[in-house]
Chains A and B, each alone.
Chain A
Amino acid sequence: MSGQLSTEEVAHIARLARLEITEEESATYAGQLSAILEHVDAVRRLDTAGVPPTSHAFELRNVLRADEPRPCLERDEVLAGAPRAEDGRFLVPRILGEEP
């Protein structure tokens, strides 16, 4: 892995990220992302044997709330920002993919 991204890889990433990009953009991003990856490549070469990863700044545990209801939003507020709504629901165009 040289950290060099092909335009095909960029197109694949863009599909995963649900970003429609042109071929031209694909080429631009391939160059820019490769440059960034090259820069951060130093990180990959660091010896981190035996070092645990950190995903959270602090080691909090068991942060829980009581199973008690709180008020919901009014439906008008819920749908206020909707690009399209019908019958109290959000309207989307035809779905091609299956739910995983």
Chain B
Amino acid sequence: MTPAASGALALAAQVRAGERSAASVLEESLAAIRGRDPELHCFNALADAHARERADEVDRLVASGTDPGPLAGVPVALKDNICTRSAPTTCSSRILAGWTPPYDATVVSRLAAAGAVVVGKTNLDEFAMGSSTENSATGPTRNPWDTGRVPGGSSGGSAAAVAAGMVPVALGSDTGGSIRQPAALCGVVGVKPTYGVVSRYGLVAFASSLDQIGPLATTVAEAAAVLEAIAGHDDRDSTSLEQAAPRCSEVLDDGARGLRVGVVADFLADASPDCTGAVRAAADVLAGHGASVEEVALPELLHGLSAYYLIAPAEASSNLARYDGVRYGLRVDAPDVETMNGRTRAAGFGPEVKRRVMLGTYVLSAGYYDAYYAQAQRVRTLVARAFARAYAGVDVLLAPTTPSVAFPLGSKTSDPLEMYLADLFTIPSNLAGHPAMSVPFALGEGGMPVGVQVLAPALGERAMFRAAAVVESGADPRARGPVPARGAR
């Protein structure tokens, strides 16, 4: 049995009780990675030496009668845009190849404080820009359900590692759907918390006003436990909210009685029948558990995609300026510093990153700012207002996570716009700063998993997890990872 199959909570309970050693759990996880990663390429780097030290430390604490924390001995994979002293942080970019940060992200310290063991860094679309994990300088990650298909992105490595049973839980980052979309495509749970609930300190910025770290796990309960470990105020992040971590584990058995659920009607028309069907079936499950369900019209949300593809590149163009060959990472030599900057960035960034940096530079430049960037920010206000209108009448919203199940590798790489549409349903929550999560629910086209998205207003994590637990209880158990190895079909 792989660690993921046991489940993070069961593993932690066993380690805390002294029934299993953290060291043995870690070795099991490393063995699973060695077994399947050559085929799937979920990991950019392993932190195995450091992980073994950490696991031994956890075991020593248990032996000395000290509780190592709620995630004692749980192996965790981190998306490779989260800074770690123990392993290089590359963002799957040539420009940061081999760079090891001299500091740990806040979430890394919090995981350690909870007793978790970081095993390695997972693949992503370069600087988290993409929806398939194909835009990676280290090569694409494959979907463990069907290795001919993408795992989604940009947290594709984390989603696939959990789905393949290499680790029970992982962290990703979500700027426009980068946790939820790969979670849905890989049949795992993925959570984007309220903006400001999890510290961004140490998360390599893509679009600072939208980025948020969150967990991926096989079950809603495990995701809640990891969120509780990493969330809460951090004085190193000015946008961190004062609130303590939301206690979501408490509400998982509360059921749906009295819960008011809205189904986002506008999204159903744009999704494939299997995705639409899953949302309707999930709504029925909630109604069956005593929730009131209604359809809500939120046409403004569909404008979110366009606003996002102006705002995110604009912020990215500035965030990625620092990769200039002066202080760290790649340098391509040249006789003067200006040429050195230009050649380094040309050689170090992949095509999608360059495209977005150029787009962002353009929309911020003199003469275009008001027409594009300022206007996109006004549309962002419209999206938030539409949500506010909906949440006046309902506690949570239900929507498809993605327009379709996982698509074949290479099928969308030639057309950037086609790829961008994969985030249509996830983007509005980022623009509003709201929490949202994807729960695996059914099998769709080609036997691939289909996720259902639960959305909630700011700091509505408890209502969101309550609804998600009920949806999960009515889901097809075959739709959930980990999946046994079965290769391309």
Which residues of A42-100 have CB atoms within 8 Å of chain B's CB atoms?
42-44, 46, 48, 51-58, 60, 63, 65, 73, 77-78, 80-84, 90, 92-97
Q: Is the CB of B433 within 8 A of A51?
A: no
Known A-B contacts A35-B417, A58-B196; A83 and B358 likewise in contact (beta carbons under 8 Å)? no
Q: A5 in the interface, Cβ–Cβ < 8 Å?
A: yes
Q: B450 in the interface, Cβ–Cβ < 8 Å?
A: no
Q: B201 in the interface, Cβ–Cβ < 8 Å?
A: no
**Binary interface encoding of chain B residues 351-368 relative to chain A, with 1 for a CB under 8 A from any of its CBs, else 0:** 000110111011001001
CB of A22 to closest CB in B, whole Å:
9
The residues of B that contact A65 with a CB separation of less than 8 Å are 235
Q: Is the CB of A17 within 8 A of B317?
A: yes
A33 to B351, CA, bound (A): 12
Known A-B contacts A51-B378, A53-B374; A43 and B330 likewise in contact (beta carbons under 8 Å)? no
Nearest chain B residue, comparing its CB with the CB of A82: B327
Nearest chain A residue, comparing its CB with the CB of B458: A58
CB of A5 to closest CB in B, whole Å:
7
Q: Is the CB of B384 within 8 A of A54?
A: yes
Which residues of B330-376 have CB atoms within 8 Å of chain A's CB atoms?
330-331, 333-343, 345-346, 349, 354-355, 357-359, 361-362, 365, 368, 371-372, 374-376
Q: Which of B238, B306, B336, B377 touches A94 (beta carbons < 8 Å)?
A: B336
Q: B391 in the interface, Cβ–Cβ < 8 Å?
A: no
Q: Is the CB of A57 within 8 A of B345?
A: no
Q: Which of B303, B330, B341 touches A18 (beta carbons < 8 Å)?
A: B341
Q: Is the CB of B378 within 8 A of A10?
A: no
The residues of B that contact A57 with a CB separation of less than 8 Å are 195-196, 209-210, 239, 432-433, 458
Q: Is the CB of B239 within 8 A of A36?
A: no
In the complex, how many residues of chain A place their beta carbon closer than 8 angstroms to a beta carbon of chain B?
53
CB of A54 to closest CB in B, whole Å:
4
Known A-B contacts A32-B355, A39-B417; A83 and B331 likewise in contact (beta carbons under 8 Å)? yes
Q: Is the CB of B336 within 8 A of A96?
A: yes
The residues of A that contact B196 with a CB separation of less than 8 Å are 57-58, 60
CB of B482 to closest CB in A, whole Å:
34
The residues of A that contact B309 with a CB separation of less than 8 Å are 36, 39-40
Q: Which of A18, A39, A90 touches B345 (beta carbons < 8 Å)?
A: A18
Q: Is the CB of A95 within 8 A of B375?
A: no
Q: Is the CB of A97 within 8 A of B357?
A: no
Q: B382 in the interface, Cβ–Cβ < 8 Å?
A: yes
Q: B109 in the interface, Cβ–Cβ < 8 Å?
A: no
Nearest chain A residue, comparing its CB with the CB of B195: A57
Q: Is the CB of B327 within 8 A of A90?
A: yes
A95 to B307, CA, bound (A): 38
Q: Which of A15, A32, A63, A93 touches B238 (beta carbons < 8 Å)?
A: A63
CB of A50 to closest CB in B, whole Å:
9
CB of B205 to closest CB in A, whole Å:
14
The residues of A that contact B331 with a CB separation of less than 8 Å are 83-84
Binds A, one of B76-84, B113-121, B318-326, B436-444: B318-326
A44 to B246, CA, bound (A): 38
A35 to B416, CA, bound (A): 9
CB of B60 to closest CB in A, whole Å:
27
Q: Is the CB of A18 within 8 A of B377?
A: no
CB of A13 to closest CB in B, whole Å:
5
Q: Is the CB of A46 within 8 A of B361?
A: no
Q: Is the CB of B372 within 8 A of A44?
A: yes
CB of B359 to closest CB in A, whole Å:
6
The residues of B that contact A16 with a CB separation of less than 8 Å are 361, 365
CB of A27 to closest CB in B, whole Å:
13
The residues of A that contact B336 with a CB separation of less than 8 Å are 93-96
CB of B489 to closest CB in A, whole Å:
33
Q: A24 in the interface, Cβ–Cβ < 8 Å?
A: no
Q: B283 in the interface, Cβ–Cβ < 8 Å?
A: no
Q: Is the CB of A20 within 8 A of B346?
A: yes
Q: Which of A19, A37, A82 touches B346 (beta carbons < 8 Å)?
A: A19
Known A-B contacts A5-B362, A33-B355; A96 and B379 likewise in contact (beta carbons under 8 Å)? no
Nearest chain A residue, comparing its CB with the CB of B309: A40
CB of B135 to closest CB in A, whole Å:
14
The residues of A that contact B374 with a CB separation of less than 8 Å are 53
Known A-B contacts A93-B335, A96-B338; A56 and B357 likewise in contact (beta carbons under 8 Å)? no
> Which B residues lie at the A interface, using CB under 8 A?
99-100, 102, 195-196, 209-210, 235, 238-239, 241, 303, 306-307, 309-310, 317, 321, 324-331, 333-343, 345-346, 349, 354-355, 357-359, 361-362, 365, 368, 371-372, 374-382, 384, 416-417, 420, 431-433, 458
Given contact pairs A57-B196, A93-B336, A94-B335, enumerate 10 new A-B contacts (beta carbons under 8 Å). Answer: A18-B342, A19-B345, A19-B349, A33-B359, A36-B359, A39-B417, A43-B303, A57-B458, A83-B326, A96-B337
Between-chain CB contacts (< 8 Å), 11 pairs: A13-B365, A18-B342, A20-B345, A33-B355, A40-B376, A43-B379, A51-B382, A54-B384, A80-B102, A82-B327, A83-B331
Top 3 A-B pairs ranked by shortest CB distance? A57-B433, A53-B377, A81-B328
